[in-house]
Structure 1
Amino acid sequence: MYTGIQHLHSYMTYLVLLGVLVSFASALAGMFGNRVFTAGDRKRGLLGLIPAHLQGVIGVILYFVSPLGASNFSGEAMGDSTARLYLLEHPLTMVIALVLLTVGYSRAKRTAGTGKGFKSIAVFYGIALLLILLRIPWGAWPGNEA
């Protein structure tokens, strides 16, 4: 079960990155094109939000069933960079990214009919995308294990 959840979490990352990237690019295009934020633009924002939240739920489950997650919590784990990544850095950074995505989408949703929704999504999704890319354990993806 653990291996299946781990692989699902790893491969789902591609969908999250694609969704956030599409939403971010669409917001930039709308912002620089001086368009009005419409219901269709709001739905494009969901392309990044929904997979990211689903990934977050899978990540929380994985955090509690993985030997590298909550069961590894100790003072010694903070001294080991790999253990610290899985125990603290990756989960905390991803929670912050999820909060940014949620805030950006919520702010944009309230500004329908103006151009401000694009700016909200562009700024918040852009920062979240950067955080996600910085804290993905690239070497641990299936096929990249050392």
Structure 2
Amino acid sequence: MYTTIQLIHSWWAYLVLFIVLIATINALAGYAGNKEYTPKDFRIALFALIVTHLQFLIGLILYFVSPLGLQNISNNGMGEVMKNSEFRLYAVEHPLIMIITVVLITIGYSKHKKKLVSKPKFKMLAIFYTLGLVFMLSRIPWQQWFN
């Protein structure tokens, strides 16, 4: 079960990164170009929200079944996990930063829906999706992606 969940989480991450990047670029371009907010823009933002939340759920399952997640903390203790950079990345940093990413994207999506005109809609998406993307990029386990 662990390897299957890990495989799904790893492959889905490519989709999440791609879609959030597209949604961020779309929001920035819409804001900078004073474009009219269209149903296409809404769908792009919504799709980024959906794939991010699905990835979070997959990651949550993985955290509880992975030897690098909660089991690592239980087996080695938090002090030992925090001393080892690889353990700390998988058990603490990656999950925490990805939760922050999901929260930022969710806030941005929620706030943009309350705006009535295009520029503020794009502004909310641009701010929160860009922050989410930066946070996401900061704690992707790149060494595992490029092996």
Aligned twin of 2:112: 108
Q: TM-score, normalised by structure 1?
A: 0.93
Deviation at 1:28, TM superposition (A): 1.2
Deviation at 1:38, TM superposition (A): 3.4
Match of 1:31 in 2: 31
State the aligned residue count: 143
> CA-to-partner distance for each residue in 1:33-55, whole Å, 9 max, x for gaps?
21233333222101211111100
Q: 1:112 deviation in Å?
A: 3.7
| 1:133 aligned residue (120, 137, 145) | 137
Please name the residue that 2:44 is paired with. 44
Runs of 4+ in structure 1 over 3 Å off: none
How much identity, in percent, do the aligned residues show? 50
Residues in 2 aligned to 1:18 and 1:47: alpha-carbon distance in whole angstroms: 11
Partner of 2:57 in structure 1?
A: 57
For structure 1, the 5+ residue unaligned runs are: none
Kindly state the Cα deviation for residue 138 of structure 1 after the two structures are TM-superposed: 1.1
Q: CA RMSD in A?
A: 1.2
Residue 94 of structure 1 pairs with residue 98 of structure 2: yes
Stretches of structure 2 lacking an aligned partner (at least 5 in a row): none
**2:45, 2:99 → 1: CA distance?**
18
TM-score, structure 2 normalization? 0.92
